Amino acid sequence: KAFLVLKSIEILNVFNQSLKVIIQFLHISRHFNVKQIEKRDSVLTSKQQIDRLLRPGASYFNLNPFEVLQIDPDATDDELKKRFRALSILVHPDKNQDDPDRAQKAFEAVDKAYKLLLDPEQKKRALDVIHAGKEYVEHMVKEKRKQLKKEGKPQDVEEDDPELFKQAVYKQTMKLFAELEIKRKEREAKDMHERKRAREEEIEAAEKAKREREWQKNFEETRDGRVDSWRNFQAKGKSKEKKNRSFLKPPKVKMEQRE
């Protein structure tokens, strides 16, 4: 339990640090619509792409494979393949020999995102998160309208603007990916703890069985000696008892002969 608590605290601390970076980014991004961001990022140089993929909070930014590859969730497999090739060439270590270590990390992020989207099950999970983000924003918009109607005010909200709606979905999706990652790490920590506990119990059971075997072995090896000792003890007891009986035996009385 103590291990799980410490692990959870560690995970939450990392998450909080990354979340601060994400919040700062989302705050700044209010001044840019999503199309502007996509247009800007699509023409980034090799160095700029590496910086984007390794920016503070990247471990959470890069949870969305579509965000990593800068490709629309509705993109075809062919479009996905072309985008991967173009981006992987930009950040490949061979093309960035002045900064090979960071380039390698960026390339691994791109490769991981691409392979994830090649897996139908993993791709579906990513799409489910994106759809959940969209549904959340749609629900939030409905609640806003209800509140405005209740207050007798016009029911216009900022998300009526398609770009602002898309931006809200983008932000919510990022939060959902981060939350799911936290839960995954907590499950991983719990599973690791359970495996560790099971292993400790297994070792303890093996040691207990070993002690019992050794005890049984020693017991068997010394059994003959104990039997002989007991027989000797009994023999001595009988001999002593016989001597005592002889010692206490009254003398024979001779009968007097009369003339």
What does the pLDDT read at residue 256? 57
Residues 171 and 47: their CA atoms lie apart, in Å, by: 25
Helical H segments across 119-161, by residue range: 120-150
Q: What tokens does 2 get?
A: 């103590």
Please, what sign has the CA dihedral across residues 94, 84, 23, 159? positive
| CA dist list (Å): 182 to 1, 102, 133 | 18, 25, 17
Give residue for tokens 């061979």.
94
Give residue for tokens 């709606």.
165
Instruction: Please give the chain's pLDDT, 259 residues, in tens.
Output: 555 555 555 555 555 555 555 555 554 444 444 455 455 555 689 999 999 999 998 888 899 999 999 999 999 999 999 999 999 999 999 999 999 999 999 999 999 999 999 999 999 999 999 999 999 999 999 999 999 888 898 988 899 999 999 999 999 999 999 999 999 888 988 888 899 989 999 999 999 998 988 888 887 777 766 666 666 666 666 665 555 555 555 556 555 555 4
| CA dist list (Å): 15 to 77, 114, 138 | 33, 24, 26
CA proximity to 114, closest of 146, 77, 142: 77
What does the pLDDT read at residue 214? 86
Helix (H, G, I), strand (E, B) or coil at 155: coil
H or E segment and range at residue 40: helix 34-42
**Does domain 2-185 correspond to CATH entry 2.10.109.10?**
no
- CA dihedral (63, 68, 70, 71) in degrees, to 10, reads -60
What does the pLDDT read at residue 17? 56
| CA dist list (Å): 101 to 34, 97, 116, 187, 232 | 30, 9, 23, 31, 82
What does the pLDDT read at residue 216? 84
Amino acid identity of 222?
T
